[in-house]
Amino acid sequence: FIGSHLVDELVKQGHKIKIIDNLSTGRKEYLNPGAEFFELDIRDFEKIRPVFDGVEMVFHLAAQPRIQPSIANPRESNGNNIDGTLNVLVAARDAGVKKVIYSASSSAYGLSPKLPLTEDAPADCLNPYSLQKYVGELYMKLFYRLYKLNTVCLRYFNVYGPRQPLEGAYATVIGIFLRQKAKGEPLTIVGDGEQTRDFTYVGDIVRANILASENPKAGGGEVINIGSGKNYSINQIASFIDNPTVNIPPRDGEARDTLADIGKAKELLGWEPRVHIEEGIKNCRA
């Protein structure tokens, strides 16, 4: 869903855009008609390679997202998140692409005890998804060192917004809550609901990607946190949506708390978040 918002903004700015998506989680109605679309899978190198010809910038958002599906099927998520990422990098290198902007994940921080989380905190991968996304970061850095392909890694913190998945394995907590409220169902809170997350609005994520693509200071494989710099408990999110709740058992392999230190994004990219959580949730309902 992030990619569709990014494409909309890039098309609006007058850029010529190519999209690669196998539509396994994406939806055709979100495709911008001003972009050229290739229904391909990034695991198929021979088919995706020609699409990169003539391309200056690559925004690599394709992944099998979410923690629980990766625990259930680690081989499938590995193929998408590691093999697919390597294919994107090799195709970009061979086509002479100027820069790859990689959608990384704050899940790499795991149970890091020190908040807010800074980019130099050690990785603590608790599940296949976080490990795979972290390996993607290492590949970005390696391709800069070995092949001088400019890369930058944006570590997203809990992205939400319009077009987010509302149901199924890839749904986000805010999406699930909004669907449950619309159906008149209680909001399902995992565990005690006191776990906290740094939620980042999709429009702010889009701006970060564009700034990273334009900024010549970002390109050496840097890791940059993209979050709101504030965190909220799941109980607080439920209170914003204002619906009865029910608690369900906690899940393995997930961090208790996340909170981004966004000083590097401010300094290096001139980026900071603009959309507050309550405003963002209202935008999701509109």
Q: Does residue 245 belong to any structural domain of this protein?
A: no
Q: What is the CATH number of the domain that holds 59?
A: 3.40.50.720
Q: Does residue 6 belong to any structural domain of this protein?
A: yes
**CA–CA separation, 271 and 286 (whole Å):** 26
The catalytic residues are: 129
What is this structure's pTM?
0.95
Which residues in the chain show pLDDT less than 50? none
Are 197 and 240 contacting, i.e. CB atoms less than 8 angstroms apart?
no
* Contacts with 25 (C-beta within 8 Å, 6 or more apart), sequence order: 64, 65, 165, 170
Domain carrying residue 58: 2-160+199-228+261-273
Q: Does residue 170 belong to any structural domain of this protein?
A: no
Q: Does residue 191 belong to any structural domain of this protein?
A: no
Are 118 and 219 contacting, i.e. CB atoms less than 8 angstroms apart?
no
With b meaning 16 or more CB within 10 Å and e meaning fewer, what string describes 109-139? bbebeebbbebebebebbbbbbbbbbbbbeb
Tokens 């980026």 belong to residue: 271
Q: Does residue 256 belong to any structural domain of this protein?
A: no
Q: Does residue 252 belong to any structural domain of this protein?
A: no
Q: Burial of 228 by CB count in 10 Å (0-12 exposed, 13-18 middle, 19+ buried)?
A: buried
Tokens 């198929």 belong to residue: 44
* Contacts with 178 (C-beta within 8 Å, 6 or more apart), sequence order: 166, 241, 281, 284, 285
The count of structural domains within the chain is 1
pLDDT value at position 286?
A: 63
Q: Does residue 240 belong to any structural domain of this protein?
A: no
**CA–CA separation, 110 and 183 (whole Å):** 33
